[in-house]
Amino acid sequence: MKTNLLANVRMVQKYDSDTTKGINVFCEEENEGLNENLLGPVQLVMGGPLELFTRFQDLFKTGALPGQLEMSVDVGRGAGGKAKLTVLSIKDPLLQAHVNQTNTARIDTDTGEITGTGQPSQQGQSSQAKQDQTNQAKPGNATGQGKGA
């Protein structure tokens, strides 16, 4: 089973020996106080392929690690029947920030339309409607199609 996970990644550890290699991704979240035996943040460790370590290094160099990262993970069966999470890929936080920035609402000062809300822009249709109204208002234009019709 695969899912996307938004996690507060605190550290990534690489291991490479003769028998096994990979990474451990250490995440944490606030303790909600539901278990009186747990003090401090709740820890989660996920595995991953060694090839992802260079990607995490790049994120560390840009200041995105430690921090919130969105990852695609495989949820499999681990020891004792417990869930085992394996990181498959990491979404680029800079690209995600750019997408979020372009999806913020803006008001077009010419048309008064709200644009950039993640919905398809109606600006083209609105401009076409204005053009049709202009063509219909021209004297001697019975069809409303303007020149070249």
DSSP annotation of 49 reads: -
Residue 111 pLDDT: 66
Predicted confidence (pLDDT) per residue in 5-30, tens digit:
999 999 999 999 999 999 999 999 99
Question: Which pLDDT score is estimated for 93?
Answer: 76
* Count of C-beta atoms within a 10 Å radius of residue 21: 13
Architecture of the domain delimited by 2-91: Beta Barrel (2.40)
Q: What pTM was estimated for this model as a whole?
A: 0.62
Contact call for residues 45 and 74 (beta carbons, < 8 A): no
Q: What's the pLDDT at 89?
A: 95
pLDDT 10s digits, 38-62: 999 999 999 999 999 999 999 999 9
Q: Map out the domains of the chain as residue ranges.
A: 2-91
What pLDDT does residue 18 have?
93
Q: Is 148 helix (H, G, I), strand (E, B) or coil?
A: coil
Cα distance between residue 9 and residue 65, in whole Å? 7
Which H/E stretch holds residue 96?
helix 93-102
